[in-house]
Amino acid sequence: MNTQHWIQHFEANTRLNHKMKLPDVPCTQPAQTRAALARSLAIFQLGESGGGTRLRRYTRSIASLERLQGYQRAVDLFVVEEQSHAALLARTVAHLRGTLLQKQWSNSVFRWLRNLVNLEFNIQVLLTAELIAEVYFGLLSLRCSDPVVQTVARKLLRDEMGHLSFQRDFLFERLISLTPAMQRVWRWQFRMIHLATAWVVSWDHRNCLRALDVAPSAFRSRAAQCWVNFQTRLERRLREHEVQARHSAASTPGYSRSSSATMQSPVS
């Protein structure tokens, strides 16, 4: 994993977020639309405002792995970037004359799930939220006419796409260590968690979606396609790794087809 690339990326990008200027215009959205947007964005703001304590603790347990050197520092900077998102969203909620949240039921469930098992599961639940966020901020940037909301949504959409690449790099390093059967199990449960999350978000943010003239079913359909796109890229990379591993084994002195049949492929 090229952790140095991500360290440099997060350092530069977080500075841009802190310095970002928003359009100096009043909110002219109708009261009902404004309230729906403000509440929805306040939920996302709460989700971005965590300190990443358990995530950082998990990363310390794998910090010594050769292929993940520097990952702990990259995660620290990733958390800082998430907090810069929280600051941008707080400014947007204030622009909409909304109120920030200290606690919210779906966010509490999400945090509980993230800390349920281990680092991989924590990252997976976080990744699920980022896949949902890609759809959410994409719709905001396209459907909301407010200049401030559009500006923030477009910036966060770009950042979330970067986060997806970061998480894909990490998952690749972990999945190549699993057997083909375990990879299939992982894929299945990841899919189920993503589907459940999309249903919860589409219901919890239904008023905002209605204000954007987006049906909950259309939101879930977009979310499902984002999952497929992410998983397709991840599996393509795993297949490429498998081909390279086979070629490397074939070029090793003493390698034979009969002996290769006893080798276990790292991917399905």
Residue 18, CA atoms < 13 Å, CB-side half-sphere: 9
For the cut 50, the answer to whether the pLDDT of residue 258 exceeds it is no
Residue 38 confidence class, pLDDT cut points 50, 70, 90: very high
| Burial readout 3-36 (b: 16 or more C-beta within 10 A, e: otherwise) | beebbebbeebbeebeeeeeeeeebebeeebbbb
CA 247, 249, 252, 254 torsion: positive or negative? negative
Residues 99 and 38: beta-carbon distance below 8 Å: yes
The rounded mean pLDDT for the chain is 88
Tokens 């070629």 — which residue? 247
Q: How far apart are CA 218 and CA 108, in angstroms?
A: 26
178 contacts: CB under 8 Å, gap ≥ 6: 186, 266
Domains parsed from the chain with CATH numbers: 8-105+115-247 (1.20.1260.10)
pLDDT at 213: 96
Calpha distance 163→9 (Å, rounded) = 10
What's the pLDDT tens digit per position in 191-233?
A: 999 999 999 999 999 999 999 999 999 999 999 999 999 999 9
Radius of gyration of the chain (CA): 21
In this prediction, residue 252 has a pLDDT band, given cuts at 50, 70 and 90, of: low
Find out whether 74 and 80 touch, Cβ atoms under 8 Å: no
Which residue intervals of the chain are DSSP H helices? 3-19, 31-48, 53-60, 71-95, 105-114, 119-143, 147-175, 180-204, 206-211, 216-250, 257-260
Return the biggest CA–CA distance within the chain. Answer: 74
Q: What are phi and psi of 238, to 5 degrees?
A: -65, -40
| Cα angle, residue 107 at apex, residues 199 and 15 outer, rounded to 5° | 110
